[in-house]
Structure 1
């Protein structure tokens, strides 16, 4: 019976398996952003804390979007398990650098998924994933903008405070 169900999928079975792995990556990213938000809150960096709380929520929304896509197309989405996340950081700049690395990794994963869709001729999933391609471009650009503020404003004293106050503006500006 299991093989019969998998044959009636609207998406390619290999793509479904890769999408389930992407669900785990999005969940891991959400958990990581929560840890970053907590560190910022603990260090009185409220602008950055809010930025990362919102990022955590977005990553969970991405996870759920993929989860529902799989189920809506006859597949079976699996609830993800996350690994331990980093909770201690040396600086706010380190957090944003870690966030950028994380987003680049997610972007590469999405691009690999799109390439696999093309290889197996899964147009439904490729079309679905185009939203994520655009979203990842915006995510990377937003964090790069935040990192540019470190060069402009510095990382000590009032510079760090001004930087933290400017961070929420980055989310509001269209890219």
Structure 2
């Protein structure tokens, strides 16, 4: 059985993951309207990943006998500026989520919930990847800028991203 403190912390993280999903879906729509559909695709895949993260947490909570309590999710903004501003916001948000995951892991340590610590290790590793992906795109934008033909190449590159759902086996093996 999961502790009430751990249960509440996971429910809070589910809400945060759902906000992240909505944020990326809003960014995706914004970028598609600006004519960079490949960037929109990259962000839509990010949306799908965040929803999958929320579901992983929800399913884990159920498996541990916890009560799922979905909370209202705040609406994300609709305007994001230049592509550099978009991905700066992506990186800032991922750093925020990293902090939330670290806090969640800290609760698991405090509660001596070893199963949660093992489960959450996948999320810790995932956040390293999330921040690295956003940083890589920002680094490229620093080289090419926000306008010009190079954006078209980057847009084409980002259009190839596809959603690969995380499997429960992968979450349990830190894969």
Same structural fold, with TM-score higher than 0.5 when normalized by the shorter chain: yes
Greater relative contact order, per chain length (Cα 8 Å cut-off, separation 6+): 2
Residues 41 and 161, structure 2, Cα contact 8 Å, conserved in 1: no
Provide, for residues 92-129 of structure 1, a one-character-per-residue CA deviation record: whole Å limited to 9, x for no partner: 11111111111111111111111121122111111110
More helix by share: 1
| In 1: Cα distance, 2:49 partner to 2:30 partner | 19
The structure having more radius of gyration, on CA atoms, is 1
Aligned match for 1:58, one of 49, 61, 72: 49
Where does the alignment leave 5 or more consecutive residues of structure 1 unmatched?
A: 1-8
TM-score by length of 2: 0.88
Provide the residue aligned with 2:169 in structure 1.
none
Q: How many residues align?
A: 163
1:30–1:59 Cα contact (<8 Å) kept = yes
Does residue 1:98 correspond to 2:63, yes or no?
Answer: no
Alpha-carbon contact 2:38-2:160 (below 8 Å) kept: no
Gaps of at least 5 residues in structure 2 are 164-175
Cα distance between partner residues in 1 of 2:58 and 2:158: 30
Q: Is 1:14 matched with 2:5? A: yes
- Classify 1:169/1:145 alpha carbon distance in 2 versus 1 (closer, same or farther; 3 Å): farther
